[in-house]
Copies of this chain bind each other. A is one copy, B any other.
Amino acid sequence: MPRKKKKSPDAVPLAVIKRLPLYHRYLTMLAQNDVERISSRELAAKMGITASQLRQDLSWFGSFGQQGYGYRVKDLLGEVSKILGLDRQFQMIILGAGNLARALVSYPNFRRRGFYVEAIFDSNPDLIGKQVNGVTIKDVKYLSEYLQQHTVDIGIITAPASVAQKLADTLVAGGVKAIWNFAPIHLKVPRDVVVENVQIGESLLTLSFRLQQQERRKS
């Protein structure tokens, strides 16, 4: 007999996890517009998904609605925020002081949501000691030392692919459990370390393929 799928928060499918930030974004917008209640049907329509999927997704985490009424926007936003971990703070450091690092440090939404960039590391002597948006650029050779003295929740790798694995190893050795990786490389890390990749280059290739496909379709 087929075993029933268990709905522990531990087993949430990745596809569901990836939609959580979306829910958060739309609920935030609704809350800003002072919308008090919304049904799964209405919210799903706005997001371009089905109401079934929305309710199925939420059911992984609990029951947040009310039959015949729908969801209180404020309450649901609170729940989703809690699920995403936005009720706490995250200390972050960035490895690689290039333009991408600058862009990330300057993104105001991060700080507002509890994500703090505490330091930037680089190996270029011209950059070390300078500040970016109030954050000091330190010499990467002091990275291990820094990790011993500070709590770092998230390590962000914006350095070139050639040094990314080495940096990741240093982060892992220093006890960092989450890596946000922008380098075009598959990082090897222990099973208890989570890696989230932002593969910008690959996204462009996907676009290029889909553009070609579209052009072919036309002709």
Contact = CB atoms under 8 A, between A and B. Distances in A.
Contacts of A202: 18, 21-22, 25
B177 A21 contact: no
Interface in A60-101: 83-86, 90, 98-100
Q: Which of A103, A192, A204, A216: most chain B CB closer than 10 A?
A: A204
Interface in A143-198: 153-154, 177-178, 180, 184, 186, 192, 194, 196, 198
Nearest to A114: B208
A211 B177 contact: yes
B213 A196 contact: no
Interface residues of A, number: 59
Interface stretch (A32-40, A50-58, A104-112, A123-131): A104-112
A109 B9 CA distance: 40
Contact of A208 (B84, B100, B212): B84
B201 A196 contact: no
Nearest to A83: B209
A210 interface: yes
B207 A192 contact: no
Interface of A: 9-10, 12, 17-18, 20-22, 24-25, 47-48, 83-86, 90, 98-100, 102-104, 106-107, 109-110, 115, 153-154, 177-178, 180, 184, 186, 192, 194, 196, 198-218
